[in-house]
A and B are shown apart, each in its own frame.
Chain A
Amino acid sequence: MKRVCLLIIMSALLVAGCGGSSHSSSGGGSTSGSSAGGHVNITIWHGYTDQEATAIKALAKEFNATHSNVTVTPQFYGNSDYALQKVLAAIAGGKPPDISYLYGSWAANIATNPSTVELGPYIEKDPSWNWNDFWQAARNVGTVNGKIIGVPALIDNLALVWNKKLFAQAGIPAPTANWTWTDFENAAIKLTNPAKKQFGWAYVNDASEDTVWRYWAMLWQAGGSILTPDGKQAAFDSPAGLKAMTLLQTLAGHNSIYLDDGSDTYLGVFTSGHIGMLWTGPWDLSQITAGNQPYGVQILPADQNHQTISGPDNWVVFNNGAARVKAAIEFLKWFTSPAIDLKWAMMTGDLPIRASVMNQPGYQQFVKKYPGIGVWVQNLKNATQSRPVTTTYPKISTVVGQAVQSVLLGKAQPQQALSSAAQQVNGILSAPS
């Protein structure tokens, strides 16, 4: 008899378990967030820690206090590197977040998902978005084949950070905004001293996108482009591409480059006074400031121009029914408005996402609070081009990463590496998707 009881309990539990899960998946979340009174609850997924985590909680609270019809709940999803898998699982389970922070490099692939909301119609209908006020590079990354699927969440760019002490020791004048590649190359070689384990420059050499995007900045500075205007063929195998690759070869040949294995050890090496110059972004600023090396920040040196590269990320909205989509867009508009974005920047040290933030009354305080940040903000004007927003970009990146790495390691000549990479990229672009 006991046995029978147990069985009944167990099967009841099983049924309850199955019932529970099927209910929640069939519910689809389409109505569960909105109640009869017109009040809408939405969730926003993010990977923020430290100051950024505090900031998103504070701003969500502020939004909820000032908007009686919507309640926003920020949810931490862990490291942003793995956010895509989690969001995919949530979509498959029928309960996607209303908004999620997602890397810009995923945009083209995310756009293929039916749950992803196309934001263009909402933004075009509402001039108060002032869409063109967002930095060009950030807008490009959220736009896939002309359709807007992401609101800019973060923008950064590469600038030159230099160690004042090492420059003084080597007798090199401070880098100016008119520096050329020749100035840069000479300085890097002069700053190199193997006996003191001292390097002129550092380069992330793990063949990942971290390797590739620094090369794109050089390619653009030399007047080149990644793909042909129609996006159907590689265009980096050009005199500009060769010039950029040759600069890498020359500096690597002089042992002037500290080759980072991808674990960001260059930061520790820089702050211990063993690297003269970095090409890096504001995300390293707090650690550079914490180190005790006197540093300066300058825009990147020029060949033809001073272009830099930016790696923007997006807020992506997923469809949980019209009411929640509307609420999500309302929140994003508020969150990225100039006044709120300046608050965010003050709290986190992130660069302003819009140009007009620089005209906000409190902007000068921001620049004072984070020494050097002003150069990166100004440098956003030099981030005029973007990486191609296509589903095949991750593959292109891998090929070019290997090409750059082979030159840095002295395993290939620049032209040879470029030709082989261009051939592979053309193969990727012509393959049926």
Chain B
Amino acid sequence: MTARAERIRASDQRPALWRRVLGSEHLAGWAFVTPAVVLIAVFFLIPIGWALLLSFQANNLLAPGHYIGLANYRALAKDPQFRSAIGHTIVYTVVFVPVSIIGALGLAVALDRRIRGISFYRLAVFVPLVTSTVATGIVFLWLLDPTFGVVNYLLHLVGLPQQKFLQDPNQAIYCIVAMTVWGWLGFDVIVFLAALQSIPQDLLEASEIDGAGKWATFRSVVFPLLGPATLFLVVWSTINALQLFDEIYVTTRGGPLGSTTVIVYYLYEQAFQFFNAGYGAAIAYVLFAAILVVTLLQLWIGRRRVYYVS
């Protein structure tokens, strides 16, 4: 009896609270992540919360603001410029996402083989991704310059009419699509390449034995297995496209005639050029809600359509 009773008594005499708290595994874990948590809180969570408060204020960030309830959101609903910014963003997203994903898939398939100099080609596709947006923007401004640009020179050589590109309100947004596809393609290609290379070889052999040709194999075996990668890229590219800003800022600055004023650029204009920080914060929250809805919708459709290898 004694041994057992003693053991029970020992467990009753628990160490003092401070010792328990300081000695617990949880606390040590939290302590280790504290620096990261503090950083995330200071630079992420607090600004997110503050932006929400800001969106209920009339605030120019200069003088103390005051609360105006939902007035910013109500004004947004009636703002024709915000509506056209949404329109430009949708046009951009609807073109950018399919073009970049289909283009990347094609390139990834082309790069997924053993030929001489393959590392060079892969590098060439990846380099634009690590090139700074400002440099990309300046290069494209020069390439697409209506008078002295290389592209118009090439068009002239083959006898095609000269274009205004970024200076034409009807073409500018598509030039931005071209520029961003060029800049972001490398990322999509890498994801597809990784997915292609993780397809089990025996599945491909099996389909070959079953007499499937190259196209049939791709359509019925390879493409379904790329489902998770494709879903990820669709979601990720859409989020990025809806938040387009840098490329606009360094090239067209929303013009010509507002034709490339996308949502985030409009937000920037409102908050930092017109000093309507509260209004800008409201735009940010509307965009956040829209992205949340679109992403959930994509994931919901994806869950029904995408085939996951266990």
* Given A109-B62, A261-B141, A205-B167 contact (CB < 8 Å): yes
B286 at the interface (CB under 8 A from A): no
Are A85 and B257 within 8 A (Cβ)?
no
User: What are the residues of chain B within 8 A of A85 when measuring CB–CB?
Assistant: 272
User: What are the residues of chain B within 8 A of A113 when measuring CB–CB?
Assistant: 62-63
Are B253 and A395 within 8 A (Cβ)?
no
**C-beta contact mask, A93-130 vs B, less than 8 Å → 1, else 0?**
00000000000000001101110000000000000000
Contact of A395 among B38, B251, B257, B274 (CB under 8 A): B274
A142 vs B52: C-alpha distance in the bound complex, in angstroms? 34
Chain B contacts with A in 25-80, Cβ cutoff 8 A: 27-28, 31, 34, 38, 60-64
Contact of A411 among B22, B63, B252, B257 (CB under 8 A): B257
| Closest CB in chain A relative to B184 CB, distance in Å | 22
| Closest CB in chain B relative to A224 CB, distance in Å | 23
Are A263 and B34 within 8 A (Cβ)?
no
B148 at the interface (CB under 8 A from A): yes
User: What are the residues of chain B within 8 A of A391 when measuring CB–CB?
Assistant: 60, 275
A195 at the interface (CB under 8 A from B): no
* Given A85-B272, A88-B62, A208-B258 contact (CB < 8 Å): no
Are A4 and B23 within 8 A (Cβ)?
yes
B255 at the interface (CB under 8 A from A): yes
Are B273 and A398 within 8 A (Cβ)?
yes
| Closest CB in chain B relative to A398 CB, distance in Å | 7
A371 at the interface (CB under 8 A from B): no
Size bin of chain B's contact surface: 35 or more
Are B257 and A402 within 8 A (Cβ)?
yes
User: What are the residues of chain A within 8 A of B38 when measuring CB–CB?
Assistant: 14
Q: Which chain B residue lies CB-closest to A92?
A: B61
Are A7 and B257 within 8 A (Cβ)?
no
| Closest CB in chain A relative to B56 CB, distance in Å | 17
User: What are the residues of chain A within 8 A of B146 when measuring CB–CB?
Assistant: 259
Contact of B22 among A4, A110, A259 (CB under 8 A): A4
| Closest CB in chain B relative to A388 CB, distance in Å | 15
User: What are the residues of chain A within 8 A of B61 when measuring CB–CB?
Assistant: 88
Chain A contacts with B in 235-274, Cβ cutoff 8 A: 258-259, 261-263, 265, 269
B256 at the interface (CB under 8 A from A): yes
Are A206 and B255 within 8 A (Cβ)?
yes
Contact of B253 among A262, A409, A411 (CB under 8 A): A262
Q: Which chain A residue lies CB-closest to B254?
A: A207
| Closest CB in chain B relative to A165 CB, distance in Å | 19
| Closest CB in chain B relative to A123 CB, distance in Å | 23
A6 at the interface (CB under 8 A from B): yes
**C-beta contact mask, B255-296 vs A, less than 8 Å → 1, else 0?**
111100000000001001111000000000000000000000
Are B169 and A411 within 8 A (Cβ)?
yes
**C-beta contact mask, B128-164 vs A, less than 8 Å → 1, else 0?**
0000000000100100011110000000000000000
User: What are the residues of chain A within 8 A of B258 when measuring CB–CB?
Assistant: 207, 402
| Closest CB in chain A relative to B33 CB, distance in Å | 11
A163 at the interface (CB under 8 A from B): no
Are A394 and B62 within 8 A (Cβ)?
no
User: What are the residues of chain B within 8 A of A225 when measuring CB–CB?
Assistant: none
User: What are the residues of chain A within 8 A of B252 when measuring CB–CB?
Assistant: 206, 261
* Given A113-B63, A205-B167, A409-B256 contact (CB < 8 Å): yes
Are B255 and A207 within 8 A (Cβ)?
yes
Are A7 and B62 within 8 A (Cβ)?
no
A23 at the interface (CB under 8 A from B): no
A10 at the interface (CB under 8 A from B): yes
B166 at the interface (CB under 8 A from A): yes
User: What are the residues of chain B within 8 A of A305 when measuring CB–CB?
Assistant: none
Q: Which chain B residue lies CB-closest to A401?
A: B255
Are B257 and A409 within 8 A (Cβ)?
yes
**C-beta contact mask, A380-396 vs B, less than 8 Å → 1, else 0?**
00000000000100110
Contact of B31 among A6, A258, A394, A406 (CB under 8 A): A6
A208 vs B273: C-alpha distance in the bound complex, in angstroms? 11
Are A405 and B257 within 8 A (Cβ)?
yes
User: What are the residues of chain A within 8 A of B64 when measuring CB–CB?
Assistant: 114
A85 vs B23: C-alpha distance in the bound complex, in angstroms? 45
Are A197 and B273 within 8 A (Cβ)?
no
Are B253 and A7 within 8 A (Cβ)?
no
Q: Which chain A residue lies CB-closest to B251?
A: A261
A368 at the interface (CB under 8 A from B): no
| Closest CB in chain A relative to B135 CB, distance in Å | 13
Contact of A112 among B60, B148, B168 (CB under 8 A): B60
Are B257 and A207 within 8 A (Cβ)?
yes
Given A110-B62, A207-B257, A409-B257, 15 more contacts at CB 8 Å?
A3-B22, A3-B23, A3-B28, A6-B28, A6-B31, A10-B31, A112-B60, A113-B62, A205-B256, A206-B256, A259-B146, A261-B145, A263-B141, A405-B257, A411-B257
Instruction: Please give me the 3 A-B residue pairs with the lowest Cβ-Cβ distance, nearest first.
Output: A112-B63, A113-B62, A207-B255
Q: Could you pull out 26 A-B pairs where Cβ atoms are within 8 angstroms?
A: A3-B23, A3-B28, A7-B22, A10-B31, A10-B34, A88-B61, A109-B60, A112-B62, A112-B63, A113-B62, A205-B256, A206-B252, A206-B256, A208-B253, A261-B145, A261-B252, A263-B141, A269-B147, A391-B60, A398-B274, A405-B256, A406-B257, A409-B168, A409-B169, A409-B256, A411-B169
Binding site for A on B (CB under 8 A): 22-23, 27-28, 31, 34, 38, 60-64, 138, 141, 145-148, 166-169, 251-258, 269, 272-275
